[in-house]
Structure 1
Amino acid sequence: MGLLSFIKEAGEKLFGGSSAQAATPTPDAEQAAAAAIKTYIESQNLGLTNLAVTYAAANGVVTLSGDAPSQEASEKASLAAGNVANVTQVDNKLAAPAAEPAQYHDVVKGDTLSAISKKYYGDANKYNAIFEANKPMLTHPDKIYPGQKLRIPKL
């Protein structure tokens, strides 16, 4: 799938302040962060198999490998990993059936799913398509935050 960029300061706080902010990252801290990210991705129940996650704290890059049942699952795995605090990029090397990739939107202050829907689809009432495309990372249509990256599916 390739490399996606994210905002380092935004996202889920999976590995706490001290280990994530260490000036000189240790291999143990990186392995612990990778394990936390892997657990978070697996909790999304995306149907991934043979998932392997590495995290390089020095540049904030997460690398994913393994197998995804669909392009959508692969994209959701990238978003789950990237929408974690201190992650700046995700290198998605998951094998998935070929399909047209979705667009992405970086949430800014004042965004709502309705406004995003209006921008991409011309209809604010189609926000539920964006909400569904980002489940289970999104639990409610009103719970998005600046810096978050969302999948915008084709309709």
Structure 2
Amino acid sequence: MGLFSFIKNAGEKLFGKNEEEVQKEAAANLPDLNRKAADAIKAHIDAQNLGLEGLGVTYDGASGQVTLTGNAPSQEAAEKAGLTAGNVTGVAHVDNNLVAPAAEESQFHDVVSGDTLSAIAKKYYGNANDYMKIFEANKPMLSHPDKIYVGQKLRIPK
């Protein structure tokens, strides 16, 4: 799947600290913090119940890069795993190396101020009423169609 970029300061706050606190601690104990962050991201991905096998997660706090390895049951599951990892505060890039059965990749959309799922559906499908396609494609990461945030990256199925 390759390398995807994300907005580092947007997303789920799994680490419980602000960016400045994370950087101070990182300087003191980088390998341990990277391992703990990777474990938290892995647990967050596992909670999505995507059916991944042998999921491996590494995190480099200096660059904000997450690397995913393992097997996914579908292209959709692999894409959702990458989005789950990338939509975490502190993550700037995801190198998604999950192996999945060959299928056409989805498009992706970075949420900006003023976006709604209806507006995004209108942009990609020409019909605002198709917003549920986007919502369903991003479940369980999205719990409600109105709960998207600036900086979030969403899967837009074709």
TM range (shorter): over 0.9
Kindly indicate whether residue 153 of structure 2 is the aligned counterpart of residue 149 of structure 1.
yes
Distance (whole Å) between structure 2 residues aligned to residue 105 and residue 20 of structure 1: 28
Distance (whole Å) between structure 2 residues aligned to residue 123 and residue 94 of structure 1: 32
1:69 maps to what in 2?
Answer: 73
Distance (whole Å) between structure 2 residues aligned to residue 11 and residue 98 of structure 1: 29
| CA-based RMSD | 1.1
Q: Shift of the alpha carbon at 1:90?
A: 0.2
Distance (whole Å) between structure 2 residues aligned to residue 116 and residue 99 of structure 1: 23
Distance (whole Å) between structure 2 residues aligned to residue 20 and residue 63 of structure 1: 19
SS in 2 for 1:69: coil
Kindly indicate whether residue 99 of structure 2 is the aligned counterpart of residue 102 of structure 1.
no
Choose between structure 1 and 2: higher helix proportion. 2
List structure 1 runs of 4+ shifted beyond 4 angstroms: none
Q: Which amino acid aligns with 1:29?
A: L
User: Could you list the runs of 5+ residues in structure 1 that have no partner in the other structure?
Assistant: none
Distance (whole Å) between structure 2 residues aligned to residue 137 and residue 20 of structure 1: 24
Q: Shift of the alpha carbon at 1:107?
A: 0.1
| Residues paired across the two proteins, number | 154
Q: Shift of the alpha carbon at 1:17?
A: 1.4
Kindly indicate whether residue 116 of structure 2 is the aligned counterpart of residue 79 of structure 1.
no
1:88 maps to what in 2?
Answer: 92
Kindly indicate whether residue 141 of structure 2 is the aligned counterpart of residue 137 of structure 1.
yes
Q: Which amino acid aligns with 2:5?
A: S
Q: Which amino acid aligns with 1:21?
A: Q
Q: Which of 103, 118, 121 is 1:117 aligned to?
A: 121
Q: Shift of the alpha carbon at 1:20?
A: 3.1
Kindly indicate whether residue 11 of structure 2 is the aligned counterpart of residue 11 of structure 1.
yes
Kindly indicate whether residue 56 of structure 2 is the aligned counterpart of residue 52 of structure 1.
yes
Q: Which of 22, 37, 42 is 1:20 aligned to?
A: 22
User: Could you list the runs of 5+ residues in structure 2 that have no partner in the other structure?
Assistant: none
Q: Which amino acid aligns with 1:65?
A: T
Q: Which amino acid aligns with 1:83?
A: N
1:31 maps to what in 2?
Answer: 35
- TM-score of the aligned structures, taking structure 2 as reference length: 0.95
Q: Shift of the alpha carbon at 1:15?
A: 0.9
Q: Which amino acid aligns with 2:6?
A: F
Seq. identity, %: 69
Q: Which amino acid aligns with 1:142?
A: D
Q: Which amino acid aligns with 2:139?
A: K
Partner deviation per Cα, 1:60-104 (whole Å, 9 max, x = no partner): 000000000000000000000000001000000111001110000
